[in-house]
Amino acid sequence: MKFTQRYVPKKIAEIVPEEDTRVRITGTVIDKSDGILLVDDGSGTVKVSIQSLETENIQTNSLIRVFGIVYQTADGFEILANVIQRLDGLDLNLFKKVKELYNKWGCEFDV
pLDDT in tens, the chain (111 residues): 556 678 999 999 999 999 999 999 999 999 999 889 999 999 999 999 997 777 788 999 999 999 999 999 998 999 999 999 999 888 878 888 888 888 888 887 666
Q: Can you give the pLDDT at residue 1?
A: 54
Q: Can you give the pLDDT at residue 4?
A: 64
Torsions phi, psi for 110 (to 5 deg): -120, 70
Please give the C-alpha separations between residue 103 and each of 13, 58, 95, 96, 106, in angstroms, as whole numbers: 19, 31, 12, 10, 5
**Global pTM?**
0.84
Q: Specify whether the CB–CB gap between 80 and 71 falls below 8 A.
A: yes
Q: Can you give the pLDDT at residue 5?
A: 73
